Amino acid sequence: MIYWLKKPAKHVKVKDMQQLFLSIIAFLITITVVVGIHEFGHFIVARLCGIKVLRFSVGFGKKLFSFTDKKGTEYRVSMIPLGGYVKLLDENEEPVVAQELHLAFNRRPVYQRAMVILAGPLLNFVFALAVFWLMFIIGFTSVKPIIGSVIPNSIAKTAGLKSQQEIVAIDTHQTPDWASVLIRIFFRIGSKNSIRIMAKLPKESIGKNYQLDLFNWQINELRPDPLKSLGIIPYSPYVPAIIGAQLDHHQLQIGDKILAVNQKTINNWHELVKQIKSHPDQELLFKIQRNDKIMQIKIKIGHKYISLTKKEGFLGVMPKFQWPEKFINHNKYTSWPALTHAFKRILVFTKLNLVLIGKMIVGDFSVRGLAGPLTIFTTAGHAFYLGLITFLGFLGFISATIGLFNLLPIPGLDGAHICYFIIEAIIGRPVSMKVQILAFRLGLLIIFLIMVQAVINDVLRLVK
């Protein structure tokens, strides 16, 4: 017997506002935590060294609110949440009364000034280490890198890679999951040499090496997809079109099996998703099996934006599916092994960032790969939505990246000040303020150009 059901769908603007609110919250948490940690490093070491801190600000621009402690330090939250700063008592910035000269930054020994500047980036790394350590303590699962299919006439196909093979190593580095595979491929972006991939079939105990010739490797500079550009499509198991969880839709119930959509037979979850995505804001006829009854339900599909101008259908349901044990890795360790794995993860991320920066400088990697605040905004929201472990990993990566970026010897960043202190320690006198001001202006221009390029990249990713 067939039953007909029809209920009004939720207003799609409510969903849009929920997504926007979630992204805003995640972005503010990210910026507040990462920038706050960085500036706290400067702040606490300055205090320990007996240097007066005039202001601790999270954000730039107009003050939103503030308070002042007994030592005269103003704690401020400012309007533009794209950074922050600690303002120290310093004769090079403004006159200092005689009774406070001993509290001025410029009057402290060079090693203390260096410690204050280094403390910000180093605390970012310490925070990233703590976050990754916590991830490995809590535990998480990752999917083994098994090839689903190989694109014909691609680099991977020419090299001989096959469906169902597991990628066990790239350039001698073990790859237990897809994240490690992507990292190792990113290391080779811009290279014209070959990359060595070791892969094996399920019944094989020893993998076979495959040489992938990268001479004609073409990768999307704006949205790099290393796997697809090489011709590798990850394995995706059969997922039945059965509702396992509903996020915000009440017409479908957990356990419902989707048989057809608009008279088109649905054989698996992938086909269901394809139908939903291709019909944003449209009413579709669902044929479902609920217990022992067959029903037809008219459902208004919602939407979500995948770029500034493009949207796709969204229903708010998840499948009843769990990866088979043979396809997943369990990552959970006791305290010391977790710390070791966390430290290794930071080393890999730091090395990868340095390699990519070097490739940008020599032109092997396009500046179109830079990500700006809009990308961080959307990525933070997505990571927040996926749960605690994913968001912790995102925070750790951003913190380590901010720490490394601030150590670059670009005038205006912490790294340039470290260079000044090293020169001062060698020649016995500070670098002249005239030179520092000229360098600062140049550095400010470089940082501005980087930010402009990153924002342009963000906008292009949204509109394309």
Cα gap 194→361, rounded to integer Å:
22
Cα angle 11-13-19, degrees, rounded to a multiple of 5: 120
Cβ–Cβ < 8 Å for 16, 99: no
What are residue 233's DSSP bridge partners?
149
Cα gap 374→411, rounded to integer Å:
25
Cα gap 185→231, rounded to integer Å:
13
- 39 included as an active-site residue: yes
Cα gap 233→167, rounded to integer Å:
12
Distances (CA, A) of 22 to 18, 382, 455: 6, 9, 21
| Cα 60 → chain centroid | 23
State the catalytic residue, choosing from 39, 93, 271, 283: 39
Buried b (16+ CB within 10 A) or exposed e, 74-100: eebbbeebebbbbbbbbeeeeebeeee
179: closest CA among 29, 357, 352?
Answer: 352
What are residue 159's DSSP bridge partners?
none
| Cα 353 → chain centroid | 13
Q: Alpha-carbon Rg of the chain, whole angstroms?
A: 27
Residue 46 in tokens: 């300055």
Burial class of residue 268, CB neighbours in 10 A (0-12, 13-18, 19+): middle
Cα gap 429→255, rounded to integer Å:
75
DSSP reduced 3-state for 387: coil
Buried b (16+ CB within 10 A) or exposed e, 171-194: eeeebbbbebbbbbbbbbbbeeeb
Cα gap 96→89, rounded to integer Å:
7
What backbone torsions phi and psi does residue 442 show, to the nearest 5 degrees? -65, -45
40: closest CA among 92, 105, 113, 116?
Answer: 116
User: Where do we find the tokens 């204050």?
Assistant: 116
Cβ–Cβ < 8 Å for 135, 389: yes
Q: What is the largest CA-CA distance in the chain?
A: 92
Cα gap 155→188, rounded to integer Å:
14
Q: Which residues are catalytic?
A: 39
